[in-house]
Amino acid sequence: MKTILQGPPDPAAPLAPIWRRLAWFFGLALLAAMAAILAAYAMKAVLTL
Amino acid sequence: MDLDALLLSRLQFAFTLAFHIIFPSFTIGLASFLAVLEGAWLFTRREAFKTLYMFWLKIFALSFGMGVVSGVVMSYQFGSNWSVFSRVAAPVIGPLLAFEVMTAFFMEASFLGVMLFGWKKVGPGLHFAATCIVAVGTLVSAFWIISANSWMQHPVGYAVLPGGSLTAVDWVKVVFSPTFPERMAHMVLAAYLTTALVVGAASAWILLKDAGQPESRIALRMAIGMFAVVAPIQVLVGDASGKEVLKVQPVKLAAIESFWETKSHQALHLVAWPDRAIEGNRWEISVPDVGSFITAGRSDAVVMGLKDVAPRDRPPVFLVFWAFRVMAGLGVAMAGLGLWGAWLWWRGGPERSKLYLRAAVLMGPAGFVAVIAGWIVAEVGRQPWVVTGVLRTADAVSPVGAGQVSASLLAFIVIYAIVFSGGALFILRLMDRGPAVAEPQPTAPEAQRAPGTPLAAGTAGETP
């Protein structure tokens, strides 16, 4: 987990353009939601075997 | 005791609920704590807040995962063990639980992804927004679950259809049933206290080993602030919740206080041995008149006793009475820990007192115990009803055999013992290491030195 979790960016480094950061923001959120949906359906499938 | 399908289903639900409630009661508070830590880091740029954030983020992610897994089991039991309840009450309860998933769970699950994996990609501002959204999501989740449960405690805004099913006729009344506001406040404050106790215990544990550890000193002070301010407020909110219970669930209140006769000048039973068989207390240590005063606000107020209802309509008094005393006793202990810590803080620093640090470690699990005890009061105190006055628990169970439920209960006990013990041990190990080693260490300046410089040999030599 130590290598997976991201810390904050280097304060001296310039930030990416806002559109790119927003794209990551909503893209990661969508991916996480999809993962949750997949996990839920997988559990449902296992329980109904 | 005859272990029939009804009793086994109740035991199974109680077992899985007791496990499940540990996680949301921790993550609700922890999500808000993380938002405070990140906000403090953004505002002050003190590294200690960032280190604490990274440390507690790992524990939050693990607890959130275990909360989701144990929560899914709860909802499946509505179908497997409580199918009659589901058939009768689903038109009212179902939408509330669906709202919880759609408006809260997905909000939390989605933006947890940004919290864990996106700080560098989205930047500090948007990452802070994600942390705040997750914190709000946990509160929204609590809103719907407490709403559904409060409706079961005191159902309003519904009608009974010819087939026996219920239907909502006034959703505002259903969502905001009379006991909901106090119960919602009580649960959220309980979650904040639970988290503060764990944060305080983890920090105190590290400070017992190293009294100068800076992150743990900050975290302990933040926890003490929560005990000192929130615990006394919680006592007042609990009192308001109790007064609402007196209005809408007087039988439950009679069980909480072990009142058997309806009368004025009820005594406050500090400790007692309530026994349904003799319809009274086998022994008690009581303060005259105070029972009426505490429950109804006046010592001459007439307060209902359990003998006013038929024996079959009374909840198990012993369990409710003692669960309430465990919860209330721990609440007072939390307030005491807060005031003691605030005094030590004022005197120079709580980390100087080994006795206080040991007490804080000892009180670490107290929030979980109090939350479980509180839910025992709420749920066992509602018996024999699953939806008060509408559907008895005995009528709500699925037509399943005792053997089937025994097998699933045994499976739950074994699987939970393995999965959750593993998770809890991993969290405890993280806490034992403390926040100082939680963060990925930046590359040492020495390692960045060019070959040939005096300090380059040591690091270069370690590379195979």
Q: Per-residue pLDDT tens for B338-366?
A: 999 999 999 888 888 999 999 999 999 99
Mark yes or no for CB contact A7/B54 under 8 Å.
yes
User: In whole angstroms, what is the distance from residue B434 CA to residue B56 CA?
Assistant: 10
Q: Name every chain A residue with its beta carbon within 8 A of the beta carbon of B440.
A: 2-3, 5, 7
The residue of chain B nearest to residue A41, with distances taken between CA atoms, is B72
Q: Which of B352, B342, B391 is nearest to B152 (CA)?
A: B391
Residues of chain A with Cβ-Cβ distance to B58 below 8 Å are 1, 5
Query: How close B316 comes to chain A (CA, Å)?
Result: 33
Q: What is the ipTM of this complex?
A: 0.85
CA distance A41 to chain B (A): 11
Q: What is the pLDDT of residues B410-464, one digit of tens each?
A: 988 888 888 888 888 999 998 888 887 655 544 444 444 344 333 333 333 333 3
| Contact present, B132 and B35 (Cβ < 8 Å) | yes
Domain boundaries, chain B: 5-438
Q: How far is CA B105 from CA A47, B109, B137, B168, B419, in A?
A: 21, 6, 7, 24, 22
- For every one of its 464 residues, what pLDDT tens digit does chain B have, with 9 covering 90 and above? 456 888 888 988 998 888 889 899 999 999 999 999 999 999 998 889 999 999 999 999 989 888 888 888 888 888 888 889 999 999 999 999 999 888 888 888 889 989 998 888 898 999 999 999 999 999 999 999 999 999 999 999 999 988 888 999 999 999 999 999 999 999 999 999 999 999 999 999 999 988 888 899 999 999 999 989 999 999 999 999 988 899 899 999 999 999 999 988 888 999 999 998 898 899 989 988 888 998 888 888 888 999 999 999 999 999 999 999 999 999 999 999 999 999 999 988 888 899 999 999 999 999 999 999 999 999 999 989 999 988 999 888 888 888 888 888 898 888 888 888 888 899 999 888 888 765 554 444 444 434 433 333 333 333 33
**Are A7 and B119 a contacting pair at CB < 8 A?**
yes
* Residue B102 CB contacts under 8 Å (≥ 6 apart), including other chains: none
Of A2, A8, A47, nearest to B76 by CB-CB distance is A47
Listed residue (B78, B199, B188) closest to B142, CA to CA: B188
What are A12's two structure tokens?
């001296």
pTM, full prediction? 0.87
B198, amino acid identity: V
Q: Other C-beta atoms within 10 Å of B58: how many?
A: 18
Given a contact cutoff of 8 angstroms between Cβ atoms, the answer to whether B87 and B165 are in contact is yes
User: What is the predicted pLDDT for the residue at B446?
Assistant: 40
Among chain A residues, the shortest Cα distance to B77 is held by: A47
Question: What burial letters (b/e) apply to B411-443, b meaning 16+ CB within 10 Å?
Answer: ebeeebeeebeebeeebeebbeebbeebbeeee
Handedness of CA B11, B12, B15, B20 (dihedral sign): negative
- In tens, the pLDDT along B181-227 reads 999 999 999 999 999 999 999 999 999 988 888 899 999 999 999 98
Three-point CA angle B257, B181, B316, nearest 5°: 30
Report which secondary-structure segment, H or E, holds B238.
helix B214-248
Handedness of CA B242, B248, B254, B256 (dihedral sign): negative
